[in-house]
A = this chain, B = another copy of it.
Amino acid sequence: MRLSARNRLKGKIVEVTKGQTTAHVRIDVNGTIVTAAITNESVDELGLKVGMGAYAVVKASDVMVGVD
């Protein structure tokens, strides 16, 4: 499926932590860690594991801009 979400950052999964309903998946994107909070079911369905290649995907309306 091709998706409207603009932002896809390629990296490698470095941590998968499941809670009771919500999991945190950490993806190393060129040395920056991106954290995704997704459902445990998504982790199981996609078979997410440390060491796998993965994309952090974000809709443009969910991106803020910060400046120093």
Contact = CB atoms under 8 A, between A and B. Distances in A.
A57 B19 CA distance: 24
A34 to B, nearest CB: 5
A25 B42 CA distance: 15
A65 B19 contact: no
A23 B21 contact: yes
Contacts of A55: 1, 65-67
A35 B19 CA distance: 17
A32 B68 CA distance: 21
B9 A39 contact: no
A20 to B, nearest CB: 3
Most buried by B among A2, A3, A4: A4
